[in-house]
């Protein structure tokens, strides 16, 4: 059966050597762009290949963009082929941050029409807790071809967010921490605060005390309460379009489909000082 949201460590262990599966190690750090590769070289899940999220699933930052813009799609398709991924491959993505980074890769593959992609529940952290095998061996990858087109209707632009301040056609759900959302602290971007009328849903709330996703029923109840309160479609955002995808994933686990992502997020919004900011 295909896996399209999350997959357990048990299932991955049973299928890691399957030639129809590809495993992507998406570990990264916002403060050290080489940290993920260093961690991968130290150890990783068997048969996993390293995937640099910023290099492979983002394009270079511009003066108008956020910190993680969408990549050039033809280049991405070529890269996926070089990773041995074809349109029928079951892809599993993982990190060591409760899926915070892997969910961005999951989301972009989904919007290419690739539904056989899942985030490893608990990531490599859970894998190691269970004492499962790790390796330093880098797998041999046979390149293939990947075709697809990106669903541009799945993303919301900064202009649309600006218009929404008066039109009120959707609700912005911000995945950042409460402290960043309120503007009490901002460790990454040069300006603190939030977009007016947005709602805070830190992505960590999708997880239990062990770093695993809550059940589909629990997530459904929580997100349905949010949707009921706002009575509008949901658009996910965060600092730069990374952890926003974690909330999107949680809604998909809950069976609540159709939400969108503001990929520019806070780091793009603040590029123009004339755009309104709320704090407190």
Residues labelled as active-site residues: 238
Angle at 2 between CA 233 and CA 52, to 5 degrees: 75
Structure tokens at 106: 């999951």
- Number of neighbours of residue 22 by Cβ within 10 angstroms: 24
Nearest-angstrom CA–CA distance, 87 and 109? 10
CA distance 185 to 230: 27
Torsion angle, alpha carbons of 169, 174, 277, 168, to 10: 10
Q: Closest Cα to residue 60, out of 71, 49, 51, 45?
A: 71
Q: Work out the number of other CB atoms within 10 angstroms of the CB of residue 153.
A: 8
Placement of tokens 């048990």 in the chain: 10
Angle in degrees, 0-180, between the axes of helices 244-253 and 102-111, rounded to the nearest 10: 70
């Amino acid at each position: 059966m295909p896996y399209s949201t999350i997959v357990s460590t048990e299932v991955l262990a049973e299928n890691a050597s399957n030639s129809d599966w590809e495993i992507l190690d998406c570990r990264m750090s916002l403060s050290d762009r080489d940290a993920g590769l260093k961690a991968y070289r130290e150890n990783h899940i068997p048969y996993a290949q390293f995937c640099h999220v910023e290099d492979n699933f983002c394009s270079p930052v511009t003066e108008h963009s956020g910190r993680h813009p969408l990549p050039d799609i033809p280049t991405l398709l070529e890269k996926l082929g070089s990773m041995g991924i074809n349109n029928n491959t079951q892809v599993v993505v993982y990190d060591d941050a409760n899926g915070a980074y892997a969910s961005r890769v999951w989301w972009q593959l989904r919007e290419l029409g690739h539904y056989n992609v899942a985030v490893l529940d608990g990531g490599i952290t859970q894998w190691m807790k269970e004492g499962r095998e790790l390796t330093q061996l880098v797998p041999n990858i046979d390149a293939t071809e990947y075709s697809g087109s990106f669903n541009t209707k799945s993303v919301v632009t900064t202009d649309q967010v600006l218009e929404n301040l008066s039109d009120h056609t959707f609700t912005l759900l911000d995945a950042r921490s409460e402290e960043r959302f309120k503007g009490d602290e901002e460790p990454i971007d040069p300006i603190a605060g939030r977009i007016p009328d947005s709602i805070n849903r830190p992505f960590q709330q999708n997880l239990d005390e062990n770093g695993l996703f809550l059940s589909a029923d629990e997530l459904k109840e929580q997100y349905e309460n949010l949707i009921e309160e706002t009575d509008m479609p949901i658009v996910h955002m965060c600092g730069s379009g990374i952890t926003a995808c974690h909330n999107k994933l949680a809604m998909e686990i809950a069976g609540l489909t159709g939400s969108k992502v503001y990929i520019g997020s806070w780091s793009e919004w603040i590029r123009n000082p004339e755009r309104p900011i709320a704090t407190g």
